[in-house]
Structure 1
Amino acid sequence: MKRKLLFASLALLVVGASLVTVFQRPIGEWLFARAIDARVGGNTMVLDDGLHLLLCGTGSPLPDPDRAGPCNVVVAGDQAFVVDIGEGGARNLQLMGFDIAGLDGVLLTHFHSDHIDGMGPLALLYWTQGTSTAPLPVYGPEGVETVIEGFNAFYATDKTYRIAHHGEEIVPPTGGGAQAMPFATGDAPVVVLDSDGLKITAFRVDHDPVKPAVGYRFDYKGRSIVISGDAAKSATLEQAAKGADILVHDALQPRLVGKMTAALERRGQANTAKITRDILDYHASPEDAAKSAQAAGVKRLVLSHLVPPLPTSFIYPAFLGDAKDNFDGEITVGEGGMVFSLEPEGDGIEVQERL
């Protein structure tokens, strides 16, 4: 009896598998339609009034399949700004349900390729999803004009294709591309924008030989977020971050990068090994970032632009090293999709994940 039941079960499995194979196409179309119906418009991000930080990319130029390039969004009430836009950042923002068409602009910390190479998809989505009649504003220190001029030239032909295909009502010819919004930098911090309760201040950071290089501080209704960009430890950054609720700081763990360098040398990849040695002097270690957060009296430290790539969270303690010994507050190893929300005039920080 048991043998007969076994054979019957196997027969049913074979028949079931055959039916699935025969009807795989209609089943697949039905599943896709259900998924799309749930996805389109069903994942829209809604944020209450307050100051919010979205991590849309926490990687670096080193290949990492799980992290987009450097990308942050700060939302203050009805205003929203992207800070740096690395490759894959726009994709993550869409997956997070963020309304790219509602952006007020982009803020660049400096012009390293990994901080600007996601500009194309972001500008395209800003234009097409919102029927924008003006280019995407891009704020940055001296030299941003040259970067944006080159970007617009690079995408000029693509723009003609979009207009010809979709029509001027969908993609107005006056939109598309980007518009440079330069500001001067000096020894003292400079207010880039002060509007509707939001003040954005740029300050110089140490990323030599990259100059200019700045970080940004956002102040809104008694809450504050500071983003370092790429920066070594410096008193200037610590002063700019005084009393901030969140400090987003780049982080490179020298011990782990040293292991990468040794492996590259063993395999005869001298050029790449030279680069991994060079990068040690213009990024902060997790320990240094923690010391800066402590000196500034920051509530929470978020590490981003992570070097080397971290394929699993199991490696996080090795990456952090002694950082937790240097900072009394909470340290978060940033991951794409994280959203930090700060209610007005409060002290709480709520965290959710959108990816």
Structure 2
Amino acid sequence: MDRELVMHFLGTGGAVPSKDRNHPGLLVKFSGTKLLIDCGEGAQRQAMEQGVSIYDVDAVLLTHCHIDHVAGLLPLATTVDLLHGRRLRVYGPAADSESTLDISDFEMIEYREVNPGDEVEIGDLRVLVYESEHEVPTVDYRIETPKIPGKADPKYIRKVPTWKRREVLLRGERPYSLTKPGKISVYVKGDGRPANPENVRGCQVLVHEACFENKEEAVRYSHSTHLEAAEVARKAGVDLLVLTHLSTKADPERMREEAREVFPVVVVAHDGLRVRVRR
């Protein structure tokens, strides 16, 4: 079984893109499974420039249906249809506002509505859905791998019959196993007010929107600040916080330094960032 989950940040900007930051898009890869979280304008070109493909994604997970998170969806679905002759599977909350785009009726998209509390199995990954406080129906996603065996100690594992080794490593038996078995878990908040730390607990990585530096502005527009995201990371006990979905007003350097005063291990995402999580 693979021991590594990889995240490719295709787009890390806010509602207004810039020359350095595209609309939101995050590709998650584990074993043979690919998930694309949000699909902003230009997602296909972003993927090409970063040397990855999104034409074979198992599903797209939408945090919500604001245009900056879904503008690249129809072009992607068109390409998938042309190349593979299939519909693009998309999961997301209902689009029940005039400010959202309802994509559930498009012929090339197989839309599956999700609600907080849902759990979905997609390929080798398990996706848990949580509510997010935003202007429109919005969700967060917790993505988990299957249980990964402990690393074998070559000195002792030879004493275990070949057919039994996986079972031994999944139990983490000593002295045969050097590390404890367990899952890789990442939590993605693409938009909205701060995540509930209890929902994040047990994850190695928290990807959290940090659209604004000013809390008053963040509250007014139902977003989060870098300091609020850092507080969630501290309370949840993650290993790494990745800040994304930055407004064009944001100062990434200042945000990183200020966030590190609350939680020490912080990265401000940029388009093209690649994060590898190993177990």
TM-score normalised to the size of structure 2? 0.78
Deviations 1:46-98 (A, max 9, x none): xx652111100001112411111010011111010100011122211111121
Deviation at 1:296, TM superposition (A): 0.7
Give the unaligned 5+ runs of structure 2: 149-182
Query: Is 1:118 the counterpart of 2:67 in the alignment?
Result: no
Distance 1:149 1:195 in 2: 22
Query: Is 1:327 the counterpart of 2:263 in the alignment?
Result: yes
Relative to structure 1, is the Cα distance of residues 61 and 295 closer, same or farther in structure 2, using a 3 angstrom cutoff? same
Please name the residue that 1:242 is paired with. Answer: 201
Matched residue SS, 1:318: helix
Larger radius of gyration: 1
Query: Is 1:213 the counterpart of 2:138 in the alignment?
Result: yes
Query: Is 1:308 the counterpart of 2:244 in the alignment?
Result: no
Matched residue SS, 2:110: strand
CA contact (8 A) 1:251 1:304 kept: yes
Distance 1:52 1:278 in 2: 29
Please name the residue that 2:222 is paired with. Answer: 282
Matched residue SS, 1:134: coil
Please name the residue that 1:147 is paired with. Answer: 102
Counterparts of residues 47-196 of structure 1 (less than 5 Å): 50-128=4-82, 131-143=83-95, 147-149=102-104, 151-152=106-107, 177-183=108-114, 185-186=115-116, 189-193=117-121, 195-196=123-124
Please name the residue that 2:188 is paired with. Answer: 227
Amino acid corresponding to residue 148 of structure 1 in structure 2: I
Deviation at 1:320, TM superposition (A): 3.6
Query: Is 1:340 the counterpart of 2:253 in the alignment?
Result: no
- Cα RMSD (Å): 2.3
Deviation at 1:233, TM superposition (A): 1.9
CA contact (8 A) 1:80 1:102 kept: yes
Counterparts of residues 196-211 of structure 1 (less than 5 Å): 196=124, 198-207=125-134, 209-210=135-136
Relative to structure 1, is the Cα distance of residues 63 and 73 closer, same or farther in structure 2, using a 3 angstrom cutoff? closer
Q: Percent identity?
A: 29
Distance 1:280 1:151 in 2: 33
Distance 2:17 2:201 in 1: 34
TM-score normalised to the size of structure 1? 0.62
Distance 1:132 1:309 in 2: 40
CA contact (8 A) 2:36 2:54 kept: no
| Count of aligned pairs | 238
